[in-house]
A = this chain, B = another copy of it.
Amino acid sequence: MKERKKKKELSILRVLKNSGTPLTSTKIAQELVAIGQEISERTVRLYLQEMEQDGLTVNSGKRGHTISEKGLDEFDSSNVIDKVGFLSAKIDTMTYQMNFDLNTASGKVVINVTLVEPGIFARSIPLVKKVYEKGYAMGHLLTFLGPGETLGYVTVPEGTIGIGTVCSITLNGVLLKHAIPTTSRFGGLLELQNGKPLRFAEIIMYDGTSIDPLEIFIRSGMTNYIDAVQTGNGRIGASFREFPAESREMVEHLDRKMKRIGLGGLLRIGMPGQSLLDIPVSEGRVGAIIIGGLNPVSIMEETGVRLYSRALAGLIDFRKLFHYEEMERRINEYL
């Protein structure tokens, strides 16, 4: 009982911590329900009363509640498993926070950030471009963040730039806006043969890791983007997701729409209840293979460049993204 109570408290503290602005109990309850943690507004209100008495939160009246210094401490000293959190929880939170509208092509999308010296990046552009050209990237857009700019927990240090690639979780967000829930099962190393997906060589389940699987596969040097772009036989980052079987056509339709504005990421979609690349899928669901958002920059690791990449780094306005053909021109600003 006590354990359960503490878990709910921590969930509320996490929502307040991530928000930055005061939140009402209604909003908190909505966010929790959205990430699969069923709770009523009334229950949230009862918790907040107690948490305020314990000094963990501050009630700013109509504006809502914020987390206190003591609340932050409490959160920091909580269970590493609750605190670090598994990727699946982070994915759900980001999916819910996204507000991109596919019809007007406006709002925010989820991006990854990779820190690199602008000179090194400039030299790598021909390789990075190839990953986009071959369709091993999430669409054909990206952005640059200058020194000092902050996104989520990442601030771009002096002397480097942040390469913002579109995170494939953006697809989950768009689908959710159309009432299609996505189950993100695992990230893996996808083996390609003649440019076609052959099988997953290694996999890490999203609900069993505190670090993004693709981030770590890339850093560990197990990918092979260079052969993938040159001969079509290599290993690239990809993930496996599931949708309700009835939504199959709608998913394909929305993906086509996304591709038209440069955001396509669906590599393959299975048939209801049938295995996809030998990955079993339950009755009533379809499996899908989604391209890894970090793929375009990750090819640099294979040329000996050590990158610092953070998947799911934060949200950015869609209008800040540009076509990969503009990379050469835009990098000049930072050289």
Contacts and interface: CB of A to CB of B under 8 A. Distances in A.
Given A204-B211, A205-B205, A80 B278 contact: yes
B216 A210 contact: no
Interface residues of A, number: 34
Contacts of A275: 79
A305 interface: no
Query: Which residue, A199, A219, A220, A306, has most C-beta atoms of chain B within 10 A?
Result: A220
Contact of A278 (B78, B207, B280): B78
A200 interface: yes
Main secondary structure of the interface of A (DSSP, over half): mixed
B3 A84 contact: no
21 contacts: A78-B278, A79-B278, A79-B279, A80-B203, A81-B203, A84-B200, A84-B201, A84-B202, A84-B203, A186-B208, A202-B210, A202-B211, A203-B209, A204-B204, A204-B211, A205-B208, A208-B208, A216-B220, A219-B219, A219-B221, A221-B306
A138 to B, nearest CB: 22
A245 interface: no
A80 B199 contact: yes
A277 interface: yes
A219 B218 CA distance: 10
A217 interface: yes
A189 to B, nearest CB: 9
Contacts of A120: none
A222 interface: yes
B221 A210 contact: no
A179 to B, nearest CB: 28
Given A202-B210, A216-B217, 15 more contacts: A3-B280, A79-B278, A79-B279, A81-B278, A84-B202, A186-B208, A203-B209, A203-B210, A204-B208, A204-B209, A204-B210, A204-B211, A205-B208, A209-B209, A219-B222
